[in-house]
Chains A and B, each alone.
Chain A
């Protein structure tokens, strides 16, 4: 059971080049807004037609520009969860679900079963606008499963929700999808959502996908700066490789990486919480002046200028627990360190 996608599509000045393979898993498609995530999903579902390429699901060709194959969305059996769920407003919950059953004679039985499984029996006669956010999502999921999909695409399923509801619906979504036997493509711009719900991730940046990697790889060795940004890394500095160390000219420091630095490394990424006030005996220690202190909800964000940095150099962002910040004796000058394994080597 797998989904294979290799497509190109030009939309105005936007160029999409997407290549990915998803197995029997939930694969995150992680990208900033406008990076081409939704266009990719639409091409897979058959709503948009790629200019060229190939899309295969479980060995069946859904689209192949060279062979002139382009199955209509009706024949692709790809479930699509829309951002606002796209429930038919003129139908009740049970009519919405029944509408998706392909075998018409089985519709009443299948619908009754799905209403029970998704705890929608009491809402069966209500219209979509009368439902709570959770019921709407369950109804949309039930409707997708009623159509017996071979793959499911989720288009930013939780982005329009407030944080408490979002947290609850995320759990429900994970539960539902864990029972689904086929590939699931989960589009999101939220690294946390991707981390909690998927084991592997495909990063998409400016219409281009990067090779699929595990979530651990994304956070510990993202490889590309775009991937590091999406994983939440905030500090970047131009880097010159030198054996097992990198020179950061902007900050006037050289940091030990504890491993051979690849020649193609151009940038170093440092996560805010990887920067610590230096303890005695640690390596990669350098002096900074404090430029600005921002009080966050559970942490303190400190913007630092390394001693050797030029006026134009980017500031180094450090995140500390509030207690740790309060315990520091000198709040104007700091000596900080970054562990060699916490340096992300990027290109």
Chain B
């Protein structure tokens, strides 16, 4: 059995989760401080990829990155790099669809964060950066971690936008999801079943991890509330 799709899926998911981790936290931290109207608008825009069909996301991404579109053509001309149909093209798709999960979970965690802890740190002479990394992030870590795991699981399961932007080339751009589709298309049910089982196993492990984190967070909150 050729394990390339598993390896490719995992590295795409890992890289995009890394990107989404910082982007999501950054967006959640700054958007939480904005006035209500700006917050509402940005919230809708940044959450849209969660509810849009992946094909719509894929089409929009191709409009931006395609080699015949202005931006894609400029990159191709200036750097000689084609942005679509490579293994890492899928990262664009997975970042866009996984971002809302990270952003929303992180924002939820930041919003339930007791602001007086940050105020206390600042009146005690500690910088905003110190307060963020040493108090706010550790206090919100369960929520952040849950968001990260959800984003990873979503990136791993991405199919629609990925197939449009990276296509299916065995040994190059194939991921688990595009491989399953390809095997089904050529009537290889036995091959498809193997990848389906691999996918179910990975997803189940991740969802169990999310549940575990959420239970721990609830317990932590209860303990904290009982003081």
By a beta-carbon cutoff of 8 Å, the part of chain A in contact with chain B is: 42, 45-47, 72-80, 82-84, 86-90, 99-100, 102, 128-129, 131, 136, 143-144, 146-147
Contact yes or no, A80 B119, CB < 8 A: yes
Check: B33 CB closer than 8 A to any chain A CB.
no
Smallest CB gap from A129: residue in B? B227
Smallest CB gap from B223: residue in A? A129
User: For A47, what are the chain B residues with a Cβ–Cβ distance below 8 Å?
Assistant: 119, 122-123
Smallest CB gap from B141: residue in A? A90
Give the most central of B125, B135, B138, B223: most A CB within 10 Å.
B125
Contact yes or no, B223 A77, CB < 8 A: no
User: Which of A72, A82, A83 is within 8 Å of B122, CB to CB?
Assistant: A72
User: For B123, what are the chain A residues with a Cβ–Cβ distance below 8 Å?
Assistant: 45-47, 73-74, 76, 78-80, 147
Give the most central of A45, A46, A88, A131: most B CB within 10 Å.
A88
Residue pairs across A and B with Cβ atoms less than 8 A apart, 11 shown, are A42-B119, A45-B119, A74-B125, A82-B119, A83-B116, A88-B117, A100-B125, A128-B227, A129-B223, A129-B226, A136-B227
Main secondary structure of the interface of B (DSSP, over half): helix
Smallest CB gap from B226: residue in A? A129
**Chain B, range 109-156, C-beta contacts under 8 Å to A:** 114, 116-117, 119-127, 134-135, 138-139
Contact yes or no, B125 A86, CB < 8 A: no
**B198-227 interface code vs A (CB 8 A; 1 in, 0 out):** 000000000000000000000000011011
Contact yes or no, A80 B120, CB < 8 A: yes
Contact yes or no, B121 A88, CB < 8 A: yes
Smallest CB gap from A146: residue in B? B124
By a beta-carbon cutoff of 8 Å, the part of chain B in contact with chain A is: 114, 116-117, 119-127, 134-135, 138-139, 223-224, 226-227
Given contacts A90-B135, A102-B125, A144-B124, A73 and B119 within 8 Å (CB-CB): yes
The complex places the Cα of A178 from the Cα of B122 at a distance, in Å, of 25
Contact yes or no, B117 A86, CB < 8 A: yes
User: For A129, what are the chain B residues with a Cβ–Cβ distance below 8 Å?
Assistant: 223-224, 226-227
Give the most central of A42, A72, A143: most B CB within 10 Å.
A72
User: Which of A80, A90, A99, A131 is within 8 Å of B138, CB to CB?
Assistant: A90
Name 11 extra pairs, CB < 8 A, besides A74-B123, A74-B127.
A73-B119, A73-B122, A82-B119, A83-B116, A86-B116, A87-B120, A89-B224, A100-B126, A102-B125, A128-B227, A129-B224
The complex places the Cα of A144 from the Cα of B227 at a distance, in Å, of 21
Would you give the shortest CB distance from A105 to chain B, in whole angstroms? 15
Would you give the shortest CB distance from A72 to chain B, in whole angstroms? 7
User: For B117, what are the chain A residues with a Cβ–Cβ distance below 8 Å?
Assistant: 86, 88-89
Contact yes or no, B139 A100, CB < 8 A: no
The complex places the Cα of A128 from the Cα of B119 at a distance, in Å, of 17
Contact yes or no, A84 B116, CB < 8 A: yes
